[in-house]
Amino acid sequence: MATQDKTKTLAPGITQTQINPYAMMLQQLDMVRELTDIPAGIWEILRRPEKSLEVSIPVTKDDGSVEVFTGYRVQYSSARGPCKGGIRFHPGVTLDEVKALAGWMTWKCAVVNIPYGGGKGGVICDPTRLTHGELERLTRRFTAAIFSLIGTRRDIPAPDVNTNSEIMNWIVDTAGLLSGEAVPGIVTGKSLEMGGALGRREATGRGIMFVTLSVLQRLGLDVTKTRIAVQGFGNVGSIAAQLLSKQGAKIVGLSDVSGAYHCPRGFDIDDVLRYVAGSPGHLLAGYNGHGVEEIKSPELLTLDVDVLVPAALEAQITAGNASGIRAKVIVEGANGPTTPEADLILGERDVMIVPDILSNAGGVVCSYFEWVQNIQCYPWEEDETNQRLGQIMQRSLNEVWSLAEKREISLRTAAFVLGVERVATAARLRGIFP
């Protein structure tokens, strides 16, 4: 199945050409089939989500009018444990996108070998056009609509694009009122006072740092001489940039939805973070630090760097721009940022890609830690969380790297083979009911 371009209207006057992410995920999946001995029947199970729920979400606006939004929750696989995956609020959300993200989460949890399946959720909305009260009512109504699916032992949401700890707090409160009991483990990414885990906010970016440093070491590259560009200066990209900068790397390219910037001498990331904290919409727009020049957003991906970290949305690196990428290593911070066609082009050019289902797994690993702490009613110290995260990320990279070398395949193919085979084994052992 080939990926297909299509144009989607996000809001009046705003359109976006995008690649079908579900077709992309299935294409990635099918590309590794011949490398496994998974029976045909089990393979067909792996290619379909277990449950896909679409809900209507009526919300009373501040002016008294009613607007109806559409939301989704997909449970892709529960073969290895309860489903796990974030909720995003974005005008570009589609059912196919949510299905793809739930699938990627399934393989991701298996690659890092934590006892979760994969899920995902989303609401088609533009949070910047909603007041604080409208956003809360939207969240609570969405929670009520998907309440039959989620649960501490069934499906545990988390933050994703345009959602945060406050939104997770509202979900916990709503679920608790509906169930009549305290359910802190029903979501992760909560505020610390609500049962959140120390280190959770930084976990995805920290995982990217661990993986990047390990890959650089394996390739014999000095981190202090490494130039890095980061696409997407949100939670994941900003923390990855900050932590890598503290390790001595030179961050020379940054971008977000408002624009892209190049600084050959290396950004002062702490200064950028201070600027973004006080800028409208917490965006990079207008940043003019010493030696910084604004560039066109597409140019960020083709800067002359050693490492590229795409940490924005899916399908950013395509057949149309892959040949222009000059990075030696791509560490995927976003979910599905590279299309299968681009993968082939980059592979022919010997560009190493550390796949999303490995490199950005730090967030779900730390979500697992939060869930364990909630169930046990026993919080950990942050140092313990970070140490355990580093151990799991290093172990997972070792397993994927070893398989790639043994089978003479790419890191992405190795990660998919490892993850898919683990899920397939669980599905086979469970059998088919009735």
3-state secondary structure of 421: helix
Q: How far apart, in Å, are the Cα atoms of 305 and each of 205, 211, 227, 254?
A: 19, 17, 5, 12
First-to-final CA distance of the chain:
31
Q: Which residue has the tokens 């501040």?
A: 62
Report the distance separating Cα 366 and Cα 364, nearest Å. Answer: 5
- Residue 184 is given by DSSP the state G
Q: For residue 134, what are its two tokens?
A: 């409208």
CB within 8 A of 63, min separation 6: which ones?
none
Length in residues, the chain: 434
Q: Where are the alpha helices (DSSP H) in 180-330?
A: 203-218, 235-246, 269-278, 297-300
Q: For residue 319, what are its two tokens?
A: 């057949």
What is the C-alpha radius of gyration for the chain, rounded to an integer number of angstroms? 21
What DSSP line would sit under 394-411, residue for residue? HHHHHHHHHHHHHHT--H
84 has catalytic annotation: no
Report the distance separating Cα 193 and Cα 363, nearest Å. Answer: 19
Beta strands 66-77 and 117-124: pairing type?
Answer: antiparallel
Q: How far apart, in Å, are the Cα atoms of 401 and each of 93, 107, 185, 223, 412?
A: 33, 16, 33, 20, 10
- Whether residue 53 contacts residue 149, with contact meaning beta carbons closer than 8 Å, is answered with yes
- Whether residue 357 contacts residue 107, with contact meaning beta carbons closer than 8 Å, is answered with yes
Closest CA to 158 of 316, 360, 330: 360
∠ Cα 51 53 57 (to 5°): 165
Question: Which residue among the candidates 84, 99, 120, 328 is catalytic per the annotation?
Answer: 120
Strand partners, 18: 6
- Whether residue 107 contacts residue 336, with contact meaning beta carbons closer than 8 Å, is answered with no
CB within 8 A of 139, min separation 6: which ones?
167, 170, 171, 174
- Residue 159 is given by DSSP the state B
Q: Which residues are known catalytic residues?
A: 120
